[in-house]
Structures are given as C-alpha cells and as structure tokens.
Amino acid sequence: MKRISIKKLFSALLVTVLASSLSTVNVMAKENIKSKEGLVNIGDKRLNAKIMGHGKASVVFDSGYGDGIYTYSEDSNFETWGTVQAEIAKKAKTVAYDRAGVGLSDVGQNRLSLSDADINTAINGGNIPFDSSIFNKGTGKTAIDRARDLHALLEKTKVKAPYILVVHSIAMFNAVEFAKLYPKDVAGIVSLDGTWDSATKDAVAWAKAEMPEMIDIFLGSFTPADGTLSEELQSELQVRNAGDVLRNIPFTILHPIDEGMGQSYQKMTDEKIAEWTKWSNYSKEILVPNTSHYIMKDNPQYVINAINDMIKIVENKGKCK
C-alpha cells in the first residue's frame, strides 16, 4: 500500500531570544520581503518558526498531521505554505511553524493514553467519558496543548493579535481550541479541508465497508511525534465539547470537489466538511477543482484568494490595528 493512500485517508478525515535564534534571509528581492526562520524558546520547548512579511494583519499557518513548514509526511522538500506565505507576506505579517515533534522543533511530551477499552470504543463509534479538567495541567499533543503552544510562540515572537488562522486538515482542531482559549485573538479562520470531530470513527466505518485492509494501517499511522491515536481521539472530544466558540468568527472553508478516493468517500467528506459551516454565522464553503487534500500545493491561488478576502473582511471590521 503506497504511503500516499494512507495519507489521503488520514489527512482528509481527519526580543532577544528571537533575534539570537532566528536567521534573516532575503527571499523576495523585488518585493523586499524578508523572512526569519529558526527555533524559538516558548518555555518548556523550542518551536521552529518562519516569520515573513509586514502589514496590519497577522496570518498564521498551521499544517496537517505530520507536516509543518515542510510537508514532512510525504515530501520533505516541499515547503507546505511556501507559495501562499510568500504572496500573503506582501500585505501581512505571516507565521508558519513546526509543531512540537515535527520538523526542527523539540520533541515535546505526550499525554497519558486513554485505556485500550476506551480507544476501542471510540474508534468503533461509541461514547467515552470526557473530563476537560485533566487538560488544565501538564502538556502534550492534543488540540488544547497545540493551541497553547501556538499562542506562546506568537507572544514570544511579538506577532500582534488578532490572528487570521489558516489551517490544514487536523490543524482545524487547533483553531477551535485556540478560539476557545483566546477568543479575542482570533479575527478569522481559513480552513483547508479541515478534519471534523468524528473523523476517526467515520474513517474506520468507511474503511470497514470499502477498504478493510486499510484499518490497521490507518490506526497505526498515528505516532508520538505529532500525536498518538489517543491524543487524536482526545482532540476530537475537546472539539466536540468546545461549545459555540466560532459563532461570530468569519470562517472560510475550502474543500476539494474530488479528492480521487471514489464516490462513497467523496460523499462522506462533502457532508462532513459542510457541517463546519454551521459553526459560524459568517461561514462560507468554497469547492476547489483540480486538487487533492493538499489544496495549498495543487491549487494555491484559491488559498491566496481566500486569505486576501479574509484580510479585507477583517480590515473592514476594524480588527487589524
């Protein structure tokens, strides 16, 4: 089974310190746009970040599972947000980064695992208990933990809030928790095929009917590096219990017209992605042609247009200072 197939199944479903640690390079001489890239100490760990551009708006890029500044999960030579970030940096301050355990960032810690019984129940569609208080202390690689890490990174690098969060796949969970923890710091969200809060059980159910040989491969694709299966399930629970946190946030959702996985798979993802539109009074879905799950790679102009439109919306609301 080729890795690309595994990735499609999983992904679609699912300042002294700064000055000393970031090196400056001129990346677009004609536009005179510079980038700073390097490790930033956020207290308990260091995260690798690429900061680029200037402007009233602050745009933050968060990648899908296993990816960061580069698409480490499939092609470590491809800069995940390279084309998009370079264009948006002409008018905004932009940040792309590697989460803990990904790319050049420190490894970080993992949360204690759910029991085997709870994991089995959850992946097969059953309900398991959720206690939000266990996430008040410690750290790990659930969506709440990722949101806290990202906020610490943005504060450390003095990137001004509020932020337009541009998220791919599983990073949609991080955006929800970021909005819950720091509601005043989110100006808008642009989601690229964002994973939904029942993605794991839906993926398993779909695979049972269509590709049963993929189930063990899919479940085994979660690693401690970017979050265990337990942490993925806990992230889904966090989002499911987040409340009405996106209601007044401008929210644009990009979704492929055809991801190339067959009609039953496309129907499922179409229905699930469309459910995100119900989270906000200011949401819209844009169907993108000629693209896989990696819209920023296959059809970056759609992403650039969506972000530019979001910047205009945010500026018109006076949220950019």
Global pTM reads 0.91
- 273: enclosing H helix or E strand: helix 263-275
- What are the residues whose beta carbons fall under 8 Å from the beta carbon of 152, sequence distance 6 or more? 42, 43
* Residues 211/213/214/219 CA torsion (nearest 10 deg): 130
In order, the DSSP letters of 191-257 are EES---TTHHHHHHHHHHHH-GGGHHHHHTT-BTTTB-HHHHHHHHHHHHTS-STTTTS-EEEEEES
CA distance 261 to 5: 9
- B/e letters for 256-283, b = 16+ CB within 10 Å, e = fewer, are bebbebeeebbebbbebbeebeebbeeb
d(CA 91, CA 287): 25
Beta bridge partners of 41: 46
Upper half-sphere CA count for residue 253 (Cβ side, 13 Å): 27
For position 320, what pLDDT does the model report? 62
Measure the CA–CA gap between 165 and 178, rounded to whole angstroms. 9
pLDDT of residue 319: 63
CA end-to-end span of the chain, whole Å? 50
pLDDT digit of tens for each residue in the chain (321 aa)? 334 444 455 554 442 233 333 443 334 433 567 889 999 999 999 999 999 999 999 999 999 999 999 999 989 999 999 999 999 999 999 999 999 999 999 999 999 999 999 999 999 999 999 999 999 999 999 999 999 999 999 999 999 999 999 999 999 999 999 999 999 999 999 999 999 999 999 999 999 999 999 999 999 999 999 999 999 999 999 999 999 999 999 999 999 999 888 999 999 999 999 999 999 999 999 999 999 999 999 999 999 999 999 999 999 887 665
Q: How many CB atoms lie within 10 A of CB 79?
A: 19
What the chain holds in terms of domains, given with CATH numbers, is 3-316 (3.40.50.1820)
Per residue in 187-231, pLDDT (tens digit) is 999 999 999 999 999 999 999 999 999 999 999 999 999 999 999
* Pairing state between β 33-41 and 251-256: unpaired
| pLDDT of the residue at 5 | 41
Contact call for residues 242 and 176 (beta carbons, < 8 A): yes
> Amino acid identity, residue 273?
I
Which tokens is 281 given?
A: 């009074």
Task: Report the candidate in 56, 100, 104, 60 with the shortest Cα–Cα distance to residue 84.
Answer: 60
Task: Quick: pLDDT tens for 141-162.
Answer: 999 999 999 999 999 999 999 9
CA 207, 209, 210, 211 dihedral sign is positive
**Which phi-psi region, left, alpha or beta, contains residue 290 (left: φ > 0; alpha: ψ -120 to 50)?**
left
